[in-house]
Amino acid sequence: MSAAPFPAAAIAGVRAAVRDYLRITGDAEDAAIDRLAASALALAEAYTGTAIIERTHDAMMAGCSDWRALPVVPVSAIIAVPPVTAIDIDGDGTGWVRMAAASPVHFTAGIAATWDAVPAPVAQGVVLLVAHLFDQRTASAAPPAAVGALWRPWRRMRLTGARR
């Protein structure tokens, strides 16, 4: 599975929030903060099982006449090209496909179109994680427990082999 990089505007939004949180006034650390922002957003997505910022994704799907769930939620659009034989999106944002043969499926997923639209607890967890990673660059301290607590309500657990 692959996803488009996080949009530059989303990274810039995280950077601004982190600079405000850490009271950083200059731009000398922006490159480091940007790298940490991309890492924190990716970790948030991995932890929650949810795409945070809406963007395109590609997933290699096996050929099967059964419905197969796409690996990222919430899906807002599926680009159906052969060998996709049928598509559907549930009310909870799970994308489903039927495939005549193995092929990548292209789709759009994310809970927010922009950084400003990210739910406050998720955004705060990202900012806290970036601030922690920034402050602890040479140490190996565990991230604050608050990060997991802020993200936990947004976590989606999936059973393997989920089918319709």
- Distance of alpha carbon 19 from alpha carbon 36, whole angstroms: 12
Query: Considering the domain boundaries, does residue 148 fall inside one?
Result: yes
pLDDT given at position 163: 56
- Distance of alpha carbon 71 from alpha carbon 120, whole angstroms: 24
Residues 128 and 98 in one domain: no
Query: Considering the domain boundaries, does residue 161 fall inside one?
Result: no
Per-residue pLDDT of the chain (164 residues; tens, 9 = 90+): 788 899 999 999 999 999 999 999 999 999 999 999 999 999 999 999 899 999 999 999 988 889 999 999 999 999 877 888 899 999 999 999 999 899 999 999 999 999 999 999 999 999 999 999 999 887 788 889 999 999 999 888 765 555 55
* Predicted TM-score (pTM) of this structure: 0.87
Query: Considering the domain boundaries, does residue 160 fall inside one?
Result: no
Closest CA to 44 of 32, 36, 34: 36
pLDDT given at position 142: 87
Residues 10 and 47 in one domain: yes
pLDDT given at position 162: 53
Q: Are 3 and 59 in contact (CB under 8 A)?
A: no
Identify the domain containing residue 78 by its residue range: 56-109
pLDDT given at position 146: 94
Both tokens of residue 47?
């932890």
Query: Considering the domain boundaries, does residue 11 fall inside one?
Result: yes
